[in-house]
Copies of this chain bind each other. A is one copy, B any other.
Amino acid sequence: MTRDAHEARSRTGRRSGDSGSKVAILAAARLQFAEYGYDGTTIRGIAAAAGVDPALVHHFYGTKERLFAAATELPIVPSEAINAALASREPGRSLGTHLAYSALALWERADMRGAFQAMLRSALTSEQAAATLRDFIAEAILGPVASAAAGADAGNAAYRASLVATQMLGLAVGRYVLRFGPVAQASKEELAVAIGPAIDRYLTGDLGQAGRGH
């Protein structure tokens, strides 16, 4: 009927070729969850960033929670990565320093950074995300700790691990979330040698005479 313009350009319907929308949505979700946390991220915002209708997000990923789960799914198995890292330690470098460096390197891998930051930022508002982070930390840190402190102070392994976790966590929050100056700008190597010894002490050192020995 030549209504309006003579080329009606149907807006709806499937597009020609491979649009890559599903991947684009997941990428946008990673970015936004990392930047704004779970609550601060909106499906509409993700859809807009991916150049797509909000309903399509639903079509692919169902609910927002499932999208979050997909976005924070790590491309590696933490314990394997840690073990691989431990195996590659150069002689002359302490365990703590190596651990700190490996963690920093891991966090900055392009395919990890988004998922990791999303998890970190969301853990602080969503109890569900917090539980996931707790498990992740337990898996990632308790292993090395147990192997390092085995025999020496096995009864305190969990305590030692949690101390290591505070330092690593503080580093991550300070560097990536709060981004305060020097720590955000320093190189991985610089931070590793600065923090490593503290971690070594948590792993195997003397934790004070407060009488926590079993």
Contact = CB atoms under 8 A, between A and B. Distances in A.
Contacts of A159: 182-183, 186
A171 interface: yes
Contact of A174 (B121, B162, B171): B162
Contact of A178 (B130, B171, B179, B196): B130
A208 B180 contact: no
Interface string A159-194: 101110111111101110111111100110110011
A210 B197 CA distance: 14
B181 A207 contact: no
Q: Interface majority SS on A: helix, strand, loop or mixed?
A: helix
Given A180-B165, A193-B207, A207-B194, A40 B125 contact: yes
A148 interface: no
Interface string A186-214: 11011001111110011000011110100
A189 B166 contact: no
Given A167-B167, A182-B158, A173 B208 contact: no
A103 to B, nearest CB: 13
Interface residues of A, number: 52
A40 to B, nearest CB: 5
B163 A190 contact: no
Contacts of A165: 170, 174, 180, 183
30 contacts: A37-B125, A40-B125, A121-B124, A124-B124, A124-B177, A124-B178, A130-B179, A137-B180, A138-B180, A158-B181, A159-B182, A161-B182, A162-B174, A162-B181, A162-B182, A165-B170, A166-B170, A166-B171, A166-B195, A167-B167, A167-B170, A169-B170, A169-B174, A189-B210, A190-B208, A190-B212, A193-B207, A193-B208, A198-B201, A198-B202
Given A37-B125, A39-B39, A194-B208, 4 more contacts: A124-B173, A162-B180, A170-B173, A197-B201
